[in-house]
Amino acid sequence: MKFVSRTAFAFVALTMASSAYAADLAPAPRLYTKAPPPSPMFNWTGFYVGAHGGYGDGSGSSGMFDPAAYSTGIIPSMAIVPGGGTTAPFDLSAGPRGGFGGVQIGYNWQGAGSPWVFGVEADASFGRLRGEDAKPFAVDATVGGDIGDYTGVARLRQTIDAFGTVRGRIGYSADRFMLYATGGLAWASVETKLGVDNVKPGVVGNFSDAQLAALSNGASSTDARFGYAVGAGGEWAFDRNWSVKAEYVYLGFDGGNSVAIPGLSADASKLHLHTVKGGINYHF
């Protein structure tokens, strides 16, 4: 009887100890914490100002120079020697190209929760985009019965010192990155210059200094051109207030003052300019 009682007591004690040990091994209850709210999407709405720099490459004035017509137009008493060494008519063309820098100002509007961004931007660029075509020529002629010859260089030059645009923009944004298309009005200050210089007596000579001086002639015109601009670009906001952009814009101009001298007239009515640029903006 004592054996049974002791055995029962030992069993109960062992069971209680096992239960306590199992309770110690039980996993601690999990603590649940609320996830932090997602960061708000970047919104492009607001005014901005910035600066840019880039490169432009264009096609501009063109014309044909006739050395014989030029010579007789400047000195009517001059006659071209048939079959002599007078250079045949040739083409001249000039397309402005070069670097530029400038500033821009604009405004964007983006609806809450919408990826579409609408805006307007005005910019002005300054530099010295220049294109020049220069070709030598020779003329054999007679003046008052005396045979003479001379050489010279015919030039056509076109220069853009300033240009700018006023454009609308429509973009599609993915948070801080935006791709956009743009289009609007363009303007440019354009100088077109043509002429003959570096005039020298040839092998035979026989032209007076006054006649050689008269054969150095030219004309120029400076005017404001107005046209259109279309392009596309991308912009990335690397900070709440700062963004960088890369952009391509094509500018097309029609019209312009005519420029002419005897034997050469430049068709300055059309001017096309391809521009690529990078820029930085500060957003208010």
pLDDT single digits (tens) 233-283: 999 999 999 999 999 999 999 877 778 899 988 887 789 999 999 999 999
The pLDDT of residue 41: 82
The pLDDT of residue 16: 47
The pLDDT of residue 38: 58
Q: Which domain holds residue 134?
A: 40-283
The tens place of each residue's pLDDT in the chain, 284 residues long, gives 443 344 444 443 434 444 444 445 445 555 555 655 656 789 999 999 999 999 999 988 888 999 999 999 999 999 999 988 999 999 999 999 999 999 999 999 999 889 999 999 999 999 999 999 999 999 999 987 788 899 999 999 999 999 999 999 999 999 999 999 999 999 999 999 999 999 999 888 788 889 999 999 999 989 899 999 999 999 999 999 999 999 999 999 987 777 889 998 888 778 999 999 999 999 99
The pLDDT of residue 66: 96
The pLDDT of residue 23: 46
Q: Report yes or no on 10 lying in a domain.
A: no
Please report, for residues 129, 186, 190, 192, 230, the alpha-carbon distance to residue 94 in angstroms, rounded to integers and kept in the order given: 11, 21, 12, 9, 23
Number of domains observed in the structure of the chain: 1
Helix (H, G, I), strand (E, B) or coil at 159: strand
First vs last C-alpha separation in the chain: 95
Q: Report yes or no on 21 lying in a domain.
A: no
The pLDDT of residue 34: 61
The pLDDT of residue 160: 95
What is the CB-side half-sphere exposure of residue 58 using CA atoms within 13 A? 34
Q: Report yes or no on 226 lying in a domain.
A: yes
The pLDDT of residue 13: 44
160 near 273, Cβ under 8 Å? Answer: yes
The pLDDT of residue 31: 55
Q: Report yes or no on 60 lying in a domain.
A: yes
Q: Report yes or no on 17 lying in a domain.
A: no
Q: Report yes or no on 8 lying in a domain.
A: no
The pTM for the full model equals 0.80
Radius of gyration of the chain (CA): 40
What is the CB-side half-sphere exposure of residue 253 using CA atoms within 13 A? 27
> Could you give the CA distance from residue 63 to residue 228 in angstroms, rounded to a whole number?
24
Those residues with Cβ within 8 angstroms of residue 208's Cβ, 6 or more apart along the chain or in another chain: none
Q: Report yes or no on 72 lying in a domain.
A: yes
122 near 106, Cβ under 8 Å? Answer: yes
DSSP tally for the chain: helices H, then strands E: 3, 13
The pLDDT of residue 29: 54
